[in-house]
């Protein structure tokens, strides 16, 4: 059994359950904390060291004791993307322990001549760590402690001076303890704060027509435009409109039924254009400040080239047929799942590498972000291998996991490397549900490695409460998605308030764009002004979007959800959302002023970034009222210190 160190360092965070890298963002502070356990009453010191993997130089930041949390806490700010290492060091702080002991003894009138010599030796030991000039000051203080010609007060004054205390603070004892090295993955900022917009290029006539729509998407303030699969679509068992089993000769089929005689995952559907057209689309998006995300769906239509070339990559049923995909009650007769564990190891290696090469193929054509379809139906081991392989050479690539499955699987996919994750937000409506779920996602342990993305709708999901719902319901759900977490997305048509279901028995839209080309009137989308304004607010206030920065506040009326982002010392937004889309609601909110940095007895100003009004508040309590009939579903207050300007 290994000998325990003199100081035990436990529960270092950020971390993940199985030791995969925790997540951070370049240029953004990362909270670091640990539990220190040591015998006796000596005071401790601690620090965190971090570096990019491969670097010879460690960065260092102090950790301080937080008695309220019973943890040592601090922050680091990595500046490079890619793999990092993180270590916590702890030691007995001999200087501070000596200061405490000698002050107590002096006050008690005890002779401290021996303690003065002990202090001199401690300072001499620490002097080399204070640098050349600082070391000289520390050694002079040690000499002063030994100068018996001076009074005790003079001798102590030199050693207890703030200058000496600052110089030796954080110098680790050579007998320190260190934690095991933790892994930290640092992403680019767009990986942690982004607004996504999903569109089907075929409904715009292909890439050339879709390119014209990019100006509209950019004008609304989105960061990422996401395309469903753009590959050839199989003809065998092709689905017709509204997921019917028989398709007509002109029905385009589902883009997720990938593969036909024109090619597989590395090909483009001829109706969408050429590779040159696709690259022009990506280039135009970049000119407008948009990044293109591509769907990565590892499945095949019966006509995919792999079906004939590699039957060993599929599950063969007893009757000789290949199993098709099912998600009861939904059936996908036009899709064959891939079997990721073929009987022969060589077949597995070939399959996994072929799947990896699809990603690299599209990376070579300008794609750095992938939305991954149903990753929970593929082995976690595959994703851990694939993402690590891609990130080894291209650490900026982003992977969004579309895994509406068990919480454990969603968390595990995030842990092994997925950059972002779809969530259950779509089905969280009640105020207690929202508070509970958002708190779970924004606190440890999940916040260390899972980045939630909130989508109020997808091509598959018209939530029950949005069926036949008024624009106000779509508006309030949008505000929640865009302000509760830093990453959110909508599927096109949301701003048009598309609310008619295919039936009362599933979540499909009537005339779903998944199975047919959909023409829309884009001349006056009802929710476009709200979307544009909220995205502008998100960009004007970049310092409030750390995932951990959301805090809920009390409301006398449960239909009004109240939460804040940020702190007044940096930047502060206060959000009030009426969860009732049909009726006006009013309440008295009660803010946690201390947590927000607001004084209890001085005025502060709230300016509504949505409605435009400005008010002066004082103290924790304030009255608010929101009436959907007047177009008021939310307040998005910018909070500043001081009174409101007089008209």
504 catalytic, yes or no?
Answer: no
Class of residue 611 by CB neighbours under 10 A (exposed 0-12, middle 13-18, buried 19+): middle
Paired strand residues for 325? 332
Q: How far apart are CA 216 and CA 93, in angstroms?
A: 60
Q: How far apart are CA 4 and CA 621, in angstroms?
A: 52
Q: How far apart are CA 94 and CA 123, in angstroms?
A: 9
- Structural contact between residues 598 and 632, judged by C-beta atoms closer than 8 angstroms: no
Own/partner long-range contacts of 202-205 (Cβ < 8 Å, ≥24 apart): 202/252, 202/255, 202/269, 202/271, 202/272, 202/517, 203/513, 203/517, 203/518, 203/519, 203/520
Class of residue 116 by CB neighbours under 10 A (exposed 0-12, middle 13-18, buried 19+): buried
SS3 236: coil
User: Within the chain, what is the greatest distance between any pair of CA atoms?
Assistant: 106
DSSP 182-206: EEEEEE-GGGTSEEEEE--GGGGTS
* Tokens encoding 616: 């002066």
Q: 20: which DSSP letter?
A: P
SS3 333: coil
Left, alpha or beta for 54 (phi > 0: left; psi -120 to 50: alpha)? left
Residue with tokens 């920065």: 549
Q: Which residues contact 188 (CB under 8 A, 6 or more apart)?
A: 25, 26, 81, 396, 398
Given the residues 187, 373, 498, 508, select the one marked as catalytic.
Answer: 373
- Helix, strand, coil percentages (3-state) for the chain, rounded to 5, are 35, 25, 40
373 catalytic, yes or no?
Answer: yes
Q: Which residues contact 163 (CB under 8 A, 6 or more apart)?
A: 137
Q: How far apart are CA 219 and CA 308, in angstroms?
A: 46
Give the C-alpha distances (Å, rounded to integers) separating 562 from 148, 554, 622: 65, 7, 12
Work out the angle between the directed axes of helices 152-159 and 131-146 (0-180°, nearest 10).
160
* Tokens encoding 10: 């436990």
Q: 522: which DSSP letter?
A: -
Given the residues 402, 460, 513, 580, select the one marked as catalytic.
Answer: 402
DSSP 483-547: HHSSEEEEETTGGGT---BS-SSSSPBTT-TTTS------S--TTHHHHHHHHHHHHH-GGG--G
Paired strand residues for 585? 626
- Structural contact between residues 76 and 50, judged by C-beta atoms closer than 8 angstroms: yes
Q: 260: which DSSP letter?
A: B
SS3 621: strand
Q: Which residues contact 491 (CB under 8 A, 6 or more apart)?
A: 198, 455, 457, 458, 459
Q: Which residues contact 433 (CB under 8 A, 6 or more apart)?
A: none
Which positions are catalytic?
373, 402
């Amino acid at each position: 059994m290994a000998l325990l160190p003199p100081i035990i360092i436990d529960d270092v965070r950020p971390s993940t359950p199985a030791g995969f890298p925790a997540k951070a963002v370049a240029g953004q502070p990362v909270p670091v904390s640990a539990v220190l356990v040591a015998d006796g009453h000596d005071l401790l010191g601690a620090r965190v060291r971090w570096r990019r993997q491969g670097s010879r130089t460690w960065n260092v930041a102090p950790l301080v004791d937080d008695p309220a949390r019973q943890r040592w806490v601090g922050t680091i700010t990595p500046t490079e993307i890619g793999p990092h290492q993180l270590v916590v060091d702890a030691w007995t702080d001999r200087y501070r322990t000596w200061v405490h002991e000698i002050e107590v003894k002096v006050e008690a009138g005890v002779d401290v001549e021996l303690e003065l010599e002990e202090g001199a030796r401690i300072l001499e030991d620490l002097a080399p760590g204070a640098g050349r000039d600082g070391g000289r000051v520390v050694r002079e203080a040690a000499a002063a402690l030994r100068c018996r010609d001076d009074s005790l007060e003079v001798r102590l004054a030199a050693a207890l001076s703030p200058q000496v205390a600052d110089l030796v603070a954080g110098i680790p004892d050579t007998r320190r303890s260190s934690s095991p090295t933790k892994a930290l993955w640092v992403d680019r900022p767009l990986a942690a704060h982004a607004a996504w917009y999903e569109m089907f290029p075929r409904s715009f006539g292909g890439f050339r027509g879709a390119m014209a729509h990019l100006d509209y998407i950019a004008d609304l303030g989105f960061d990422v435009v996401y395309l469903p699969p753009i590959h050839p679509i199989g003809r065998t068992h092709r689905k017709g409109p509204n997921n019917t089993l028989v398709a007509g000769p002109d029905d385009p089929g589902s883009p997720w039924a990938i593969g036909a005689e024109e090619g597989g995952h590395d090909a483009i559907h001829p109706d969408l254009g050429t590779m040159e057209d696709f690259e022009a689309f990506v280039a135009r998006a970049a000119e407008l400040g948009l990044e293109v995300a591509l769907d990565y769906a590892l499945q095949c239509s019966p006509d995919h080239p792999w079906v004939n070339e590699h039957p060993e990559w599929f599950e063969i049923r007893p009757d000789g047929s290949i199993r098709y995909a099912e998600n009861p009650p939904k059936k996908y007769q036009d899709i064959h799942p891939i079997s990721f564990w073929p009987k022969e190891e060589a077949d597995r290696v070939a399959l996994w590498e072929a799947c990896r090469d699809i990603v690299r193929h599209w990376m070579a054509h300008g794609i750095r972000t992938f939305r991954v379809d149903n990753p929970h139906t593929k082995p976690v081991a595959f994703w851990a291998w694939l993402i690590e392989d891609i990130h080894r050479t291209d650490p900026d690539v982003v992977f969004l996991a579309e895994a509406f499955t068990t919480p454990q699987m969603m968390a595990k996919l995030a842990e092994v490397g997925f950059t972002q994750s779809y969530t259950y937000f779509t089905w969280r409506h009640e105020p207690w549900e929202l508070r509970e779920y958002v708190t779970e996602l924004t606190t440890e342990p999940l916040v260390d490695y899972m980045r939630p993305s909130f989508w109020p709708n997808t091509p598959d999901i018209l939530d029950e409460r949005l069926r036949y719902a008024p624009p106000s319901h779509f508006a309030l759900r949008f505000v929640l998605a865009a302000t509760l977490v830093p990453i959110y997305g909508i599927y096109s048509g949301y701003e048009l308030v598309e609310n008619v279901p295919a039936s009362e028995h599933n979540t499909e839209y009537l005339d779903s764009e998944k199975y047919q080309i959909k023409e829309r009137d884009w001349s006056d989308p009802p929710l476009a002004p709200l979307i544009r304004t909220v995205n502008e607010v998100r960009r004007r206030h970049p310092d409030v979007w750390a995932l951990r920065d959301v805090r809920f506040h009390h409301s006398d009326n449960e239909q009004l959800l109240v939460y804040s982002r940020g702190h007044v010392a940096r930047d502060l937004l206060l959000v009030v959302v009426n969860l009732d889309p049909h009726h006006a609601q009013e309440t008295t909110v009660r803010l946690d002023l201390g947590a927000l940095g607001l004084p209890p007895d001085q005025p502060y100003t709230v300016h509504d970034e949505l409605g435009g009004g400005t008010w002066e508040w004082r103290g924790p309590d304030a009255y608010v009222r929101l009436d959907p009939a007047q177009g008021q579903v939310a307040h998005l207050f910018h909070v500043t210190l001081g009174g409101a300007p007089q008209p």
